[in-house]
Amino acid sequence: MAVTPPANRLWWNEPIHIVELGWIVIAFIWGLVMFFTMVYWHSIGEQNLANETYKVVPQSFAAKAEAMTEKYTVRDEVGIPVVRPPPGSDVYLIARIWSWWPILELEKDQSYRLHLSAMEYSHGFSLQPVNINIQIQPGYEHVLTITPNQSGKFGIVCNEFCGFGHHTMVSPLYVVDRS
């Protein structure tokens, strides 16, 4: 109930005051500007990753990742294999209970098709400081083409709460300059 209710209870039949009409027009125009800005940034601003997503059986994805790891392992780091796949190849990265597997070592200015999937829970793939973020679900394979343009050690962080060991789910990603 209003403090001073209108005398005529059918308020929607009352004429709109010019100031109120002005604010309605401003809000409508601003809404259109924001809508078309989103369309612009989506299509021209290159703000979104061009990725593909497929349904996959987690065990078959793990088998592909293990085959790649056996073929391209160059060393171990804290018990996790470090793989150096050739440029242009398919690279598989598994998100499993509180770890990323295997550790990747890629070449600067070379393209790779990165395949991501989770084995049991939902995880978040966040590549820092580049700020690439993808939510990884079990039963889905996310594929994106990446071309590292800086060498160094980058961090892969799970940014989707996945249980009590979530805070330990970090992994390095190495980019080496072979030129």
**Residue-wise pLDDT tens digits, 113-136:** 999 999 998 999 999 888 788 999
Asked whether residue 4 is domain-assigned, the answer is no
E strand map for 56-147: 73-77, 80-83, 90-96, 99-101, 103-107, 112-118, 123-128, 132-136, 140-146
CA atoms 45, 49, 52, 53: torsion sign: negative
> Are 150 and 121 contained in the same domain?
yes
CATH, residue 106? 2.60.40.420
Which residue matches tokens 């409508």? 28
User: How many domains would you assign to the chain?
Assistant: 2
Whether the CB-CB separation of 36 and 47 falls below 8 Å is answered with no
The domain in which residue 19 lies consists of 15-43
**Global pTM value:** 0.75
Which residue matches tokens 């990446």? 146
**Residue-wise pLDDT tens digits, 24-43:** 999 999 999 999 998 888 77
Per cent of the chain over pLDDT 70 is 94
